[in-house]
Amino acid sequence: MTIDTFDGTGVKPAQWNLDAIVHQLRVSREATHNIRHQGRVRELPSREALQTIVNGLSAVLFPTHYGRPNLTDESIDYFVGDTLNTTLNRLTEQVRRGLLFSADTDALDETELTHKAQEITREFAAGLPEIRALLVSDVQAAYAGDPAATSIAEIMLCYPGTIAILHYRLAHRLHRLGSPFIARMICDISHSLTGIDIHPGAQIGASFFIDHGTGVVIGETAILGQRVRLYQHVTLGAKRFPADASGALIKGTPRHPIVEDDVVIYAGATILGRITIGAGSTIGGNVWLTQSVPANSNVSQAQMRNDC
């Protein structure tokens, strides 16, 4: 009688020639195809930890919406203080790990790197009241701009655009303070959750509203004024990517649109390049736009066809 031994997967063991495969993977990892930063092993930031951090920061900013709904006037400040302290300690460690991948910090030793992470986190924490004020303006813009909205709580709990903007506001501040890797990971977590892709380097004014939201893309150098409203599948992207003499892409050049105050961009519109959408303009659904338009313009597909 043969007794089969299983390894917990429910599959009978087999021979895989593991020694040869593991050796070849080591050669690829350590030599042939080494893609590590400066060829060294680094501690990667943790997406799971960052999700916990964003959840904690959300609870600090809006304790009863994203924290504990049973908080009282007596307990709420204690909850905020304790949650904030724990969350900032966690954030410091992730910022430190992110700095390992920054060329600006390559010369820092471990003590200096930790100090730098603490400085960034301290400045970030000091800006939380300002971030909350911006988020309140965003939520109020959503409530004022959507006739289907029945309450502020509905917007905060049910609107993917609100979740994406919250992640973006936190990430943008970290990006400005010198933690771009962590900022990008926070926005990517939001992208996974909401289908909305906002680069943390984009500059977005107060009272920003994304309605429905799925498929919205906002590029790194985009600048949006106040009271801008976007609908689903809007792209604020680059038209071309400048390269240097060797053909390598030039990083960080302004290549995304400038959208001035009080602009509405409807579903499916694609706006490309460093162009300006003048204040008070309306861009219709599915418009493809690669040239600037003056203030108070009303651009539709029919107009674009007539212009061709």
b (16+ CB within 10 A) / e for 10-35: eeeeeeeeeeeeeeeeeeeeeeeeee
Cα 230 to Cα 197: distance, rounded to the nearest angstrom: 13
Secondary structure (3-state) at 224: strand
Note the residue count of the chain.
308
Average pLDDT over residues 268-278: 98
DSSP one-letter code for 44: P
- pLDDT tens-digit series, residues 195-240: 999 999 999 999 999 999 999 999 999 999 999 999 999 999 999 8
- pLDDT tens-digit series, residues 75-130: 999 999 999 999 999 999 999 999 998 877 777 888 999 999 999 999 999 999 99
What DSSP element (H or E) covers 230?
Answer: strand 229-230
Parallel/antiparallel/unpaired status of strands 270-272 and 235-237: parallel
pLDDT attached to residue 30:
83
Average pLDDT over residues 39-46: 76
Q: What is the 3-state secondary structure (H, E, C) of 245-302?
A: CCCCECCCCCCCCEECCCCEECCCCEEECCCEECCCCEECCCCEECCCECCCCEECHH
Domains and CATH numbers, the chain: 44-195 (1.10.3130.10), 215-308 (2.160.10.10)
pLDDT attached to residue 247:
79
